[in-house]
């Protein structure tokens, strides 16, 4: 096989991240525990360098490499940049929290970079094998990170559940891919799509393969009825790791679903859109109703994530460019809100091991710190979809795509579930502003952390006042990427 140097340019960010992960892994052996800040700064520089390479190697149009197994397009570049940003924010938020719990280690940093590499491979994949390779690299990194707190039985239990159920999801996906290969004789997404469209593929195998593929995707997104791992993992893992699982991987999961459904299986849209309708309604119903009963904030956010992923499916099931663009906008906004919400939990947690992860811990926050309470209010309003925050426009764009696709009744159902969901978000606002605080302990934080939290909270308001720019970026990225393949 002749190797062309042009193959390297589309995957240069991945090569850089892999190289730096290996360098940091070796360099960390020479760094003492007290000097972990050097490792942290190296990882932040890696994320910055990766972002600059993504921008520097961007080309107009769609570029293929490695016999069309990898694709470099506008959607992949935007999502990779946002993934690097999300991981950089996660590291800033979690530095103080991890240090206090002896988790601020070199292995954590390296595993974050390997997780980033898996996400980037998923985002740029144009072939079933590349998709699966990226997915497994991300999944194995996350399984290990959850179990990093070895003296915590809760974290180990969460990791085991995540591993067992994640392995089951991977097997479903692999089985579905093998069936689609048997039906079409191809693994490349565009060739699979052409084989289905030509009518040459075996119809029975296609339907069975589609069922397994959608089930595997549902597992990875954490939607009902494949949601069992989400609440346990979110609650059992340390908050910094919960933030990692709940933010950047969702961006990669969207790309994973969009590549498979919008590119490889677009001719079967009539079949898989019906399946996604059932999954979306079940996720919004169970997620919202279960979240109301929770007293643990991380568990409540876990059920809220199930609801948000149900909303994400609403855009995908529309089966058109507007719907895919709306879903991309929604997942970007969700990642931003999720970072802020979990960041606030870590800000209020203390160095003595106290976790501010129950509803009661937010009582009277406006008296202890009016600014943090205001930022949390903005984040909760955005998650509930209250205007003028960006969460409102995220939900509105998805609902608009659903209506345009002819599912008006589905949009009505989604609005009703959103009203139910508003209750548990606004309950946090009520606790912060109208209840007396249970603790008067001082809230200590690093200057860069509170500055980033301020930018995060005000960002959901600013993007809500000026949402058109981000919405147009997502729409153009989808139009130039998915429709040209």
Binned at pLDDT 50, 70 and 90, residue 484 comes out as very low
Binned at pLDDT 50, 70 and 90, residue 4 comes out as low
Q: Is residue 2 part of a domain?
A: no
Binned at pLDDT 50, 70 and 90, residue 6 comes out as low
Over residues 127-146, the mean pLDDT reads: 91
Q: Is residue 88 part of a domain?
A: yes
Range with the poorest average pLDDT among 405-409, 423-427, 444-448, 472-476: 444-448
3-state secondary structure the chain: CCCCHHHCHHHHHHHHHHHHHHHHHHHHHHCCHHHHHHHHHHHHHHHHHHHHHHHHCCCCCCEEECCCCEEECHHHHHHHHHHHHHHHHHHHHHHHHHHHCCCCCHHHHHHHHHHHHHHHHHHHECEHHHHHHHHHHHHHHHHHHHCCCCCCHHHHHHHHHHHHHHHHHHHHHHHHHHHHHHHHCCCEHHHHHHHHHHCCCCHHHHHHHHHHHHHHHHHHHCCCCCCCHHHHHHHHCCHHHHHHHHCHHHHHHHHHHHHHHHHHCHHHHHHHHHHHHHHHHHHHHHHHHHHHCCCEHHHHHHHHHHHHHHHHHHHHHCCCHHHHHHHHHHHHHHHHHHHHHHHHHHHHCCCCCCCCCEHHHHCCHHHHCHHHHHHHHHHHHHHHCCCCCHHHHHHHHHHHHHHHCCCHHHHHHHHHHHHHHHHHHHHHHHHHHHCCCCCCCCCCCCHHHHHHHHHHHHHHHHHHHCCHHHHHHHHHHHHHHCCCC
Over residues 241-263, the mean pLDDT reads: 90
The per-residue pLDDT for range 331-364, each reduced to its tens digit, is 999 999 999 999 988 888 876 667 777 888 888 8
0.85 cut: is pTM over it?
yes
> Is residue 272 pLDDT above 80, yes or no?
yes
Find out whether 11 and 70 touch, Cβ atoms under 8 Å: yes
Looking at residue 282, its pLDDT comes to 92
The per-residue pLDDT for range 92-101, each reduced to its tens digit, is 998 888 888 8
> Is residue 120 pLDDT above 50, yes or no?
yes
Over residues 420-445, the mean pLDDT reads: 83
The per-residue pLDDT for range 34-81, each reduced to its tens digit, is 667 888 899 999 999 999 999 888 887 788 888 888 888 888 999 999
Range with the poorest average pLDDT among 27-31, 299-303, 390-394: 27-31
CA pseudo-torsion sign 129, 210, 258, 63: positive
Binned at pLDDT 50, 70 and 90, residue 123 comes out as very high
How many domains does the chain divide into? 1
Which range marks the domain in which residue 411 is found?
9-481
> Is residue 394 pLDDT above 70, yes or no?
yes
Looking at residue 3, its pLDDT comes to 56
> Is residue 387 pLDDT above 70, yes or no?
yes
Q: Is residue 333 part of a domain?
A: yes
Q: Is residue 136 part of a domain?
A: yes
Bridge partners for 125 per DSSP: 70
Q: Is residue 4 part of a domain?
A: no
């Amino acid at each position: 096989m002749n190797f062309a140097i042009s193959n390297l340019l589309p995957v240069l960010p991945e090569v850089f991240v892999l190289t730096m992960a290996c360098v940091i892994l070796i360099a960390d052996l020479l760094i003492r525990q007290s000097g972990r800040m050097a490792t942290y700064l190296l990882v932040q520089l890696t994320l910055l360098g990766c972002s600059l390479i993504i921008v520097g190697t961007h080309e107009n149009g769609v570029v293929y490499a490695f016999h069309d197994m990898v694709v470099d397009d506008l959607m992949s570049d935007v999502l990779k940049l946002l993934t690097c940003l999300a991981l950089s924010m996660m590291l800033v938020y979690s530095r103080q929290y991890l240090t206090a719990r002896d988790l601020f280690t070199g292995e954590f940093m390296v595993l974050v970079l390997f997780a980033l590499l898996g996400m980037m491979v998923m985002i740029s994949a144009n072939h079933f094998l590349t998709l699966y390779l990226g997915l497994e690299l991300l999944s194995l990194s996350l399984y290990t990170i959850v179990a990093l707190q070895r003296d915590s039985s809760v974290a180990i239990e969460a990791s085991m559940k995540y591993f067992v159920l994640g392995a089951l999801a991977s097997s479903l996906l692999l089985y579905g891919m093998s069936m689609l290969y048997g039906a079409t004789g191809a693994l490349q997404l565009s060739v699979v799509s052409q084989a289905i469209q030509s009518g040459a593929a075996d119809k029975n195998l296609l339907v069975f393969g589609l069922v397994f593929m959608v089930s595997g995707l549902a597992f990875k997104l954490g939607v009902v009825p494949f949601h069992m791992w989400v609440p346990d993992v979110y609650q059992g893992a340390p908050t910094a790791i919960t933030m990692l699982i709940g933010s950047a991987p969702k961006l990669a999961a969207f790309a994973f679903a969009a590549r498979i459904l919008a590119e490889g299986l677009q001719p079967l849209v009539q079949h898989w859109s019906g399946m996604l309708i059932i999954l979306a309604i079940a996720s919004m119903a169970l997620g919202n109703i279960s979240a109301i009963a929770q007293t643990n904030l991380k568990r409540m956010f876990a059920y809220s994530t199930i609801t948000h992923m149900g909303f994400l499916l609403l855009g995908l099931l529309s089966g058109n460019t507007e719907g895919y663009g709306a879903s991309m906008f929604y997942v970007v906004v969700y990642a931003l809100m999720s970072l802020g919400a979990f960041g606030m939990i870590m800000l209020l947690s203390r160095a003595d091991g106290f976790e501010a992860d129950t509803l009661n811990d937010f009582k009277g926050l406006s008296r202890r710190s009016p600014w943090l309470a205001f930022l949390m209010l903005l984040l909760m309003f955005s998650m509930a979809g209250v205007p003028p925050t960006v969460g409102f426009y995220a939900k509105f764009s998805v609902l608009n795509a659903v209506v345009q696709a002819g599912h008006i009744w589905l949009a009505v159902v989604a609005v009703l579930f959103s009203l139910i969901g508003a209750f548990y978000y606004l309950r946090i606002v009520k606790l912060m502003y109208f209840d007396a605080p249970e603790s008067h302990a001082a809230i200590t934080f690093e200057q860069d952390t509170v500055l980033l939290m301020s930018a995060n909270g005000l960002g959901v308001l600013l993007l809500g006042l000026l949402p058109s720019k981000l919405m147009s970026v997502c729409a153009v990225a989808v139009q130039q990427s998915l429709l040209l393949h």
